[in-house]
Structure 1
Amino acid sequence: MGKKNHRKTIRSLQRRIEEHLEKIELERQKDFPDLGLIRHWEVEIAAFEKGVQQATKRLNR
């Protein structure tokens, strides 16, 4: 993959992280938030952050 693809991947993952953080915030505002769903989004955020780290590492080679 070229540098352009790594940058695109990073932008995409960062956008997904922001979306998930918004979902978590909205869910927490409910009277009875679904903690399982929040946990699921937190796990996905961790995976996205790992993907950002890997893409950044490849970009800096």
Structure 2
Amino acid sequence: MRRRRSRSDPAHADRVILVGQSWGGALAAQYLAAHSEHVAKAVFASAFLRGKPLPVGTD
């Protein structure tokens, strides 16, 4: 993963915005769990994440 340096905010120069879509959501979640100190924000869109499925009718 390539990191982008911020010119306007040097305090966040080593932090990324992590985006995971579909199967990439599982990879993004693994990266977030292992390296949360390097993630400023995380976005998951239609992500496949392992876990217990929600019951039908759950909001």
TM-score by length of 1: 0.33
Higher helix share: 1
Higher strand share: 2
